[in-house]
Amino acid sequence: MELLHPWRLDFPKPSEPELRSAPVVSLILPCFNEQEVLPETTRRLVALLDRLSVEGRAAPGSAIYYVDDGSGDCTWRLIGEYAAAFPTVCGIKLSRNRGHQNALLCGLLTAPGDVLVSLDADLQDDLEAIPRMLDSYRAGNEIVCAVRGRRTTDTFFKRSTAEAYYRLLGMLGVQVQFNHADFRLMSRRAIETLRGYEETHLFLRGLIPQLGYRTAVVEFERASRFAGESKYPLRKMLSLAWQGVTSFTAYPLRLITGVGALVSLGSLALAAWALGIRIFTDDAVPGWASAVIPMYLLGGVQLLSLGIIGEYLAKVYESTKKRPRYHVEAVCGHSIDGSSRDNP
């Protein structure tokens, strides 16, 4: 008789998890003055949905949802024409420009579907990454982030500052995916959890990791903009960067304490220096060191500190008013549920 070693126990092997069935896919694209790129974007996305349906990756009912963020050109008219021509195209028009993050949130909270994929309308996000994102979802992931493998299409300034910003957020304790913007897939479960977050100042790439669901990463190569101009100039990028810092960490407030301590030490050092000049040399200018240096130094630190505190107080003030983040003025297409409501 063969003896079994006590450390060799034949446990049953865990069964492989079954793949999820093909989901109903909603593609969410915020638009602001995108009339130049919209025809080509629609052509490619309609072809992509048809292919995903044939391949069994997307179920019937999958659709494209354009969110017009108060455009001043012909964007909404084009969306209406495409919605009439293609059953898979729908449109949501905001009553005024509310910014990219609010427009994106509107699409996520309004569109139906088992999974929602958010992407830009300028065709810089690689559409071929979407099938891989769907495969990752079917393997069991609730959130799939599309991350730029390389930033070859960016200028040196934009690439270096963006990467430095992601590293800075990590140092401040903000959980973000490096080199990830808003090209992501979210399951219906993740979307309904996101609905419970009522933050006024949105920074979705920092908010989504707070949901805590199983997340995967898919790399892609970002292309150049197909047509038109970037809707994120330096001013808006800086505003979004500051939003990411002040919305997820109180580190700048704590930094004020550190700056105050350094100023105090610096003031003591200046006092010692001025005293030494007075005692050991004849070069001292009466009253200069004791008046001018502390006045400018402390005045600058105080103004900086008040500005940072004021920024946080402004966010608290705006959040307590609980104003709606957007209003839906009009919709077109057949697949929008509850589209006549203003969604807070």
Tell whether the model's pLDDT for residue 340 goes beyond 50: no
Q: Evaluate whether residue 300 is within a structural domain.
A: yes
pLDDT digits (tens, 9 = 90+) for 279-327: 777 665 666 666 766 776 677 677 677 777 777 777 676 667 677 888 8
Residue 90 clears pLDDT 80, i.e. is over it:
yes
| CATH number of the domain residue 328 falls in | 3.90.550.10
Using one digit for the tens of pLDDT, what is the confidence trace for 64-81? 999 999 999 999 999 999
Residue 200 lies in a domain: yes
Q: Residue 8: is its pLDDT beyond 70? A: no
pLDDT of residue 220: 85
Is there a domain that residue 162 lies in? yes
Question: Residue 85: which pLDDT band, with cuts at 50, 70 and 90?
Answer: very high
Burial per residue of 171-201, b for 16 or more beta-carbon CB atoms within 10 angstroms, e otherwise: ebebebbebbbbbbbbbbebbebbeeeeebb
Which one-letter DSSP state was computed for residue 322? T
In terms of domains, do 119 and 220 share one? yes
Q: What is d(CA 294, CA 148) in angstroms, rounded to the nearest whole number?
A: 48
Q: Kindly list the distances between the CA atom of residue 290 and the CA atoms of 79, 89, 248, 267, 286, in Å, as whole numbers in the listed order.
A: 67, 71, 40, 10, 9
Quick one: which of 188, 52, 181 has its CA closest to 120? 181
Do residues 189 and 108 make contact, with C-beta atoms less than 8 angstroms apart?
Answer: no
Distances (CA, A) of 12 to 3, 6, 9, 15, 88: 20, 16, 9, 9, 46
Range of the domain at 201: 25-231+323-332
Q: What is the pLDDT of residue 193?
A: 94
**171 and 263 inside one domain:** no
- Domain-embedded: residue 337: no
* Predicted confidence (pLDDT) per residue in 36-63, tens digit: 999 999 999 999 999 999 999 999 999 9
Structure tokens at 268: 């003591």
Between the alpha carbon of residue 160 and those of residues 9, 155, 156, 192, the distances in Å are 54, 8, 6, 35
| SS3 of the chain: helix, strand, coil, percent, to 5 | 45, 15, 40
Single pTM value for the model: 0.71
Name the more confident of 8 and 188: 188
Domain count, the chain: 2
Between 165 and 137, name the one with better pLDDT.
137
Residue 321, pLDDT score? 67
Q: What is the structure's pLDDT at 148?
A: 83
Q: Would you state the pLDDT for residue 127?
A: 93
Yes or no: say if 174 and 204 are a contact pair by the CB < 8 Å rule: no
Measured CA to CA, the distance from residue 211 to residue 208 in angstroms comes to 6
Identify the weakest region by mean pLDDT among 14-23, 195-204, 244-253, 327-336: 244-253
What are 171's two structure tokens? 């140092």
User: Are 93 and 194 in the same domain?
Assistant: yes
The pLDDT, as a whole number, for residue 217 is: 92
Looking at the fold, whether 207 and 143 belong to one and the same domain comes out as: yes
Residues 292 and 305 in one domain: yes
Instruction: Identify whether residues 314 and 328 lie together within a single domain.
Output: no
Phi, psi angles (nearest 5°) of residue 145: -100, 130
Q: Is residue 215 part of a domain?
A: yes
What's the N-to-C CA distance of the chain in angstroms? 73
Contact yes or no for 176/205 (Cβ under 8 A): yes
- Residues 93-105 have pLDDT tens digits of 999 998 888 999 9
Residue 268: pLDDT band with limits 50, 70, 90:
low
Asked, for residue 317, whether it belongs to a domain, the answer is yes
Cβ-in-10-Å burial (0-12, 13-18, 19+) of 293 comes to middle
Do 214 and 184 belong to one domain? Answer: yes
Contact 175, 209 (CB under 8 A): yes
Instruction: Judge whether 62 and 113 are in contact, CB under 8 Å.
Output: yes
223/255 same-domain check: no
The verdict on residue 4 lying in a domain is no
Rounded CA-CA distance 149/33 in Å is 28
Neighbours of 95 (CB within 10 A): 13
Q: Are residues 273 and 142 in the same domain?
A: no
| Same domain (yes/no): 174, 267 | no
In a domain, 51, yes or no: yes
Report the mean per-residue pLDDT for the chain: 78
Cα separation of 335 and 90, whole Å?
Answer: 7
pLDDT of residue 344: 41
Distance CA 244, CA 232 (A): 15
Give ∠ CA 131-228-204 in degrees, rounded to 5: 50
Q: Are both 127 and 30 inside the same structural domain? A: yes
Per the CB < 8 A criterion, the answer to whether 228 and 32 are in contact is no
Same domain, 70 and 126: yes
Summarize the confidence of residues 325-333 as an average pLDDT.
89
Distance in angstroms (rounded) separating the CA atoms of residues 120 and 37: 11
